[in-house]
Structure 1
């Protein structure tokens, strides 16, 4: 973040007061604060999304290494990644679709 001192901030405030006037300055400040918050939340979302994608990529790499080792005698960090991937895979699997033959005819 830029290093803005008190004098620079005061100068920006005085210029804004002269340009906008005392009646429009509070609304402009609120709009600016709203915009800055929106930008920050957007960047925070992007940062978390990129972090999640990097984590998924790392898990896939660990799974690939585990498959190369034959899934036996894995180092603890690879075994933890494999277990985590298995748990994630089970949590996102869709529910089983019943077969048409499994349905029992309803008696009226």
Structure 2
């Protein structure tokens, strides 16, 4: 929208809503616009992540077909990224080790 279109919308809003309700209506519309923008950005980020995951999956299939030998740099990078992700998941599920059975906790003597 251009400058003149905004002026016309403002004047029509002023006539229809009046000077008391126009600021409230503008704030409400701005909240809706922000909500829609945030939802659109969220969907955009999710779609982008899904496409990246799909690409990594395809690269992994190609690497498996080549038996993980003589991989192109792109395939090798995807395999490395997947290995790092798998290691981070594995580390997050490991339970912290408790004190070994033959060690006694330090006690005041």
Scaled by the length of structure 1, the TM-score of the pair is 0.84
Q: CA offset at residue 19 of structure 1?
A: 0.7
2 CA distance for matches of 1:54 and 1:95?
Answer: 27
Does residue 79 (structure 1) correspond to residue 76 (structure 2)? The answer is: yes
Number of positions where the alignment pairs a residue of Structure 1 with one of Structure 2: 102
Scaled by the length of structure 2, the TM-score of the pair is 0.83
Unaligned runs of 5+ residues in structure 2 are 102-109
Q: CA RMSD in A?
A: 2.1
1:10-66: CA deviation from partner (whole Å, max 9, x where unpaired): 111111001110000001101111110111011001101100000000000000000
Does residue 55 (structure 1) correspond to residue 55 (structure 2)? The answer is: no
1 CA distance for matches of 2:77 and 2:36?
Answer: 36
Unaligned runs of 5+ residues in structure 1 are 98-102
